[in-house]
Homo-oligomer: A and B are copies of this chain.
Amino acid sequence: MAADASFRFRILARDGGARRGEILTPRGTIRTPAFMPVGTAGTVKAMYAHEVAALGADILLGNAYHLMLNPGAERIARLGGLHAFMQWDRPILTDSGGFQVMSLSKLRKLSERGVVFQSHIDGSSHELTPERAMEVQALLGSDIQMQFDECVRLPSSREDVERAMRLSLRWAERSRRAFAGGPGQAAFGIVQGGAERDLRIESAKALADMDFHGLAIGGLAVGEPQAVMLDMIETVEPHLPADKPRYLMGVGTPDDLLACLRRGVDMFDCVMPTRAGRHGLAYTRYGRMNLRNSRFAEDPRPIDATSLAYAGRHFSRSYLRHLIKAGEILGMMALTAINIAYYEVLMAGARDAIERGMLDDYIAETRAGWERGESAGAQE
């Protein structure tokens, strides 16, 4: 890996606050704004990785927390790293485990050093520190490695938010130092500060000075209204280095993605398209469809004849409803693929619109399609 072994970000076009860019890595180019499907435990649930690639995803997210517990980061390293393990050769971003250790694990004990916790699976005891979180991600062979942070739920007291933000800054420094940095690998810091504008700004400024390859905005979409989330993004955005990618963690609905990329966010991840798909919800250009609804019982039409997903074009809504109602795995497979395809095509449309300087029109047209929506879809 010579000339192309570096991690680079370049902006190709702007439209208002939105950026059309690309992240160049030795494993491939990530077109931004990008949506990253979530492959929690070494698999995007209910899909083959090569199918996810075929639907347009340039990068997946993996979770250090899940993978360190099962099958273990050292084991994955011995097997050649996460890319080989899960048969995905494009870039992977890994979460550091900070979020999951707070939301999933039992009996955690937080200290300046890190977090000691019990596995949510078997109760075994583990420790995550900034140093160990970066080591785990290096063992996985992650292309974009996230700092270890503490993420609080909203609403939380200002005191809690401030304490967690400052701890996360100290952990950011330790994470950055611990980052091993293989060829073309990157480390991202995470802006915290809850819904407190001054704390968010302080966090962003401090991180901007730390030589990360990109910055994330964490601790949003954890229970607050969309307006609060957008306010925080607008607050933070001017303090993020303009020449580095910005990643909004764990967001969100299709509408969230459009609202946030319009405000300068370059990368997203969310379990919504996969999790909702497994529960019978389809995200489409006609809006969200709940396939459990009886009005689909004899609807012979496909979800969307233009879908990149085979099931989106070929399966009738009645068949999908039957599969979901019967608890059939194929229903989960089909709706997961349909939703990933829609999220990816939504982002492709946004990238194209930014290049043409037509983003606001694109967003308005897309939202109008959702508004005409399901009912128009069912009657046409």
| Residues in chain A within 8 A of chain B (CB atoms) | 41-43, 45-48, 50, 70-71, 75, 78-80, 85-87, 297-298, 300, 310-311, 314-316, 318-319, 321-323, 325-326, 328-330, 332-333
**Bound complex: CA A298 to CA B80 (Å):** 11
Number of copies: 2
Residues from chain B with a CB closer than 8 A to the CB of A78 are: 298
Residues from chain B with a CB closer than 8 A to the CB of A319 are: 42, 79, 85-87
Q: A42-B323, A79-B318 are in contact. List 16 more A-B contacts (CB 8 A).
A: A41-B328, A42-B328, A46-B329, A48-B310, A48-B311, A48-B330, A70-B322, A70-B325, A70-B326, A75-B318, A79-B298, A79-B319, A85-B316, A85-B318, A85-B319, A329-B329
Nearest Cβ distance between residue A37 and chain B, in whole angstroms?
13
Known contacts: A315-B87, A333-B333. The answer to whether A297 contacts B71 by CB under 8 A is yes
**Bound complex: CA A321 to CA B78 (Å):** 15
Contact A50 B85 (CB under 8 A): no
**Bound complex: CA A284 to CA B87 (Å):** 21
Contact B297 A75 (CB under 8 A): yes
Contact A41 B329 (CB under 8 A): no
**Bound complex: CA A375 to CA B315 (Å):** 43
Q: Which of B46, B71, B325, B333 contacts A322 (CB 8 A)?
A: B71
Output the nearest chain B residue to A326 by Cβ-Cβ distance.
B41
User: What would 29 A/B residue contacts be, using CB atoms closer than 8 Å?
Assistant: A41-B322, A42-B322, A42-B323, A42-B328, A43-B323, A45-B328, A45-B329, A45-B330, A46-B329, A46-B330, A47-B330, A48-B311, A48-B333, A50-B310, A70-B322, A70-B325, A71-B297, A71-B318, A71-B321, A71-B322, A75-B297, A78-B298, A79-B298, A79-B318, A79-B319, A80-B300, A85-B316, A86-B319, A87-B314
Nearest Cβ distance between residue A373 and chain B, in whole angstroms?
23
Output the nearest chain B residue to A311 by Cβ-Cβ distance.
B48
Output the nearest chain B residue to A330 by Cβ-Cβ distance.
B43
Nearest Cβ distance between residue A291 and chain B, in whole angstroms?
12
Q: Which of B43, B50, B316 contacts A328 (CB 8 A)?
A: B43
**Bound complex: CA A47 to CA B329 (Å):** 8
Residues from chain B with a CB closer than 8 A to the CB of A326 are: 41-42, 70
Contact B318 A329 (CB under 8 A): no
Nearest Cβ distance between residue A79 and chain B, in whole angstroms?
6
Q: Which of B46, B298, B311 contacts A333 (CB 8 A)?
A: B46
